[in-house]
Amino acid sequence: MRVRIIEPIQKVQKVKKKVCAYARVSTDNDKQGESLENQIQYYENIISNNPDYEYVGVFADRGVTGTTENRPEFQRMLELCRNKNIDLIITKSISRFARNTAIMLQIVRELKDIGVEVRFEKENINTLSGDGELMLTVLSSFAQEESKNVSDNLKWRARKKFEQGELIINTTRFLGYDKDEYGDLVINPKEAEVVKRIFNEYLSGKGGFTIAKELNAEGVPTIGGARWHDTTILGILKNEKYKGDAILQKYYTPDHLKKGSVRNKGVIDSYYIEDNHSPIISREMWEQVQEEIKRRAEAKGNVAGDTDKYTKRYPLTGMLYCSKCGSTLRRRTWNSKLNCKKIVWQCSNYIKNGKDACQGTAIEDEVLSRLNIKEEIIVREELRDGKKHYSYTSKGKQNQFSTEPRTTEKEDGSLLQSINRPIRTVIKL
C-alpha cells in the first residue's frame, strides 16, 4: 500500500498578535523625561522587529502617579483592549503599570477575561499563566508599600522644612507675589494693586459678587486666567499672606493612594510664621476685613461651624426656581445700610454671571411670606403696563398647567394660601 501526501493549496497564515507597550514616569523633570523617551524607543524596536507581532503603539503617561487610574494614555490603552484591538501589553515592571494592589488586580482580571495578556519584563510574569496572578498579588503589594514609603518620606521632608520656616508655595497660583532666586516671596506690583483694590472695595461696602462682577467686566485677569467668582474674592480676603504672615500645612494628603488633599482642621500640625515676607495689606486693614466678613455672615444668619448653613439656611432655600434659566433663587438684602432696606429672592445664575447668563428674576421676601409654599415652585416674573406680575408653578407638575394663569386674590388684596396645590396663581405688586 502506498500513501501519498496531498499538500494544501493555500497555506494557513499565522495570525500576528496585536501588541502594545505601556510606560510611565511620575514627574516632569528632564531626567525622567529622557527615561520615558528611552522606554518608548525601546518598545517600538522590540515590537516592530518581532515577526509575530503587529505593532499597535506605545502608551506613555508623563508626570502621573501609578496609585491612581486617572492616567489618560493608560485609559486609552484599556479602551482599545476592550474593543479587541490589543492582544498583548508589555511593560517594564509592576510599579510602572500600577502601584495600587486593588487597581492592579482589578484591571489584570478584566483584561484576562477578554483574553488580553500583560507581560511584566522585570518580574518575568505573564498574567495568562497559571501562577501569574498569585505572583502578581505578592509583588504588587510590595510595589504599593514602596509607594507608601516614598510618600511618607516626602511628607517628612516637607514637615522638616515647615519646622524651619521654609515655605512651599506655588506662586503661579497665588496672586500678588513672585519668588526671587532664593525662593523668598517678593511683591508683584501689578498684581498687588488688584489685591489692594479688593480689600479697599470690600471695606467700602461692596460684596464678593459685586467685586467679582466688576473685575470680570473690566477684563482684569485672575492668576489662573479664569473668571472671577465671589469665592475667589473671599479666599483672597481671608489669606493671611497678604499681611506678611504664613500658615504652613493648611492642607494635607490623608491617603497616599488617592492623592487628594483636604483642609487641615487640627488633624496634623500646622505652623504659623509671623512677618515672613513683605505685606501688601496692613495688619490693621486685614483685621478690619476679617471683622467685616464675620459681621456680614452673622447678619445673614450664618453660624460658624454650621456645615448645613448653605443648604437650608432659610425655610425657602432650595425651593424657588427662576423660570428663565431654571436656577434656584437666592435670598439677598438690598440697600442693607439704608432705611429702604429690602429682602428679596433673586436668580443665583444672574447674581453670579450677570445678564449674559440670565435676565434674572427677583421677588420680595414679604410677598413670598404670604404664600403657603410646601413644595418646589417656579417663579415667573412678567412686566405688564409698567408693573411687575408674578406667577407660580409647581416644579414637579409644571406640564399640567394651562398657559393662562388664574388670579387668586381675595377682596382685601391678600393672597389665597393655595400655592401648595397643583394650580397656577398670579399676583400684582
CA–CA distances in Å: residue 37 to residues 34, 66, 118:
5, 18, 21
pLDDT at 130: 60
Has 26 been annotated as catalytic?
A: yes
SS3 labels along the chain: CCCCCCCCCCCCCCCCEEEEEEEEECCCCHHHHHHHHHHHHHHHHHHHCCCCEEEEEEEEEECCCCCCCCCHHHHHHHHHHHCCCCCEEEECCHHHHCCCHHHHHHHHHHHHHCCCEEEECCCCEECCCCCHHHHHHHHHHHHHHHHHHHHHHHHHHHHHHHHCCCCCCCHHHCCCEEECCCCCEEECHHHHHHHHHHHHHHHCCCCHHHHHHHHHHHCCCCCCCCCCCHHHHHHHHHCHHHHCCEEECCEECCCCCCCCCEECCCCCCCEEECCCCCCCCCHHHHHHHHHHHHHHHHHCCCCCCCCCCCCCCCCCCCCEEECCCCCEEEEEEECCCCCCCEEEEEEHHHHHHCCCCCCCCEEEHHHHHCCCCCCCEEEEEEEECCEEEEEEEEHHHHHHCCCCCEECECCCCCECCCCCCCCCEEEEC
pLDDT at 48: 92
**pLDDT of 183 strictly over 80:** no
pLDDT at 202: 94
pLDDT: is 157 or 113 the higher one?
A: 113
pLDDT at 218: 92
CA distance 77 to 146: 25
pLDDT at 21: 94
pLDDT at 11: 57
Domains of the chain (ranges, CATH numbers): 17-147 (3.40.50.1390), 171-299 (3.90.1750.20), 320-428 (no CATH)
Predicted confidence band of residue 400 (pLDDT cuts 50, 70, 90): very low
Q: Which of 255, 259, 203, 263 is nearest to 233 (CA)?
A: 203
Residue corresponding to grid cell 483584561: 111
pLDDT in tens, 291-318: 999 888 887 666 554 444 444 567 888 8
**pLDDT of 422 strictly over 50:** no
Contact 389/399 with Cβ under 8 angstroms?
A: no
pLDDT at 81: 94
pLDDT: is 3 or 278 the higher one?
A: 278
Mean pLDDT in residue range 194-208: 93
Q: In what order do the strands lie in the sheet with 117-120?
A: 53-62, 17-25, 88-91, 117-120, 125-126
Predicted confidence band of residue 342 (pLDDT cuts 50, 70, 90): confident
pLDDT at 292: 92
Report percent pLDDT > 90 for the chain.
Answer: 23
Backbone phi and psi for residue 101, each to the nearest 5 degrees, phi listed first: -60, -45
CA distance 376 to 328: 10
Mean pLDDT of the chain: 75
**pLDDT of 56 strictly over 60:** yes
pLDDT at 61: 87
* Range in 95-109, 112-126, 216-230, 294-308 the model is least confident about: 294-308
pLDDT at 390: 84
Q: Which of 189, 190, 185 is nearest to 239 (CA)?
A: 185
* Range in 13-17, 86-90, 330-334 the model is least confident about: 13-17
**pLDDT of 398 strictly over 90:** no
Q: Which of 188, 176, 124, 143 is nearest to 286 (CA)?
A: 176
* Cα 391 versus chain centre, distance: 37
The residue from 26, 323, 348, 394 that is catalytic is 26
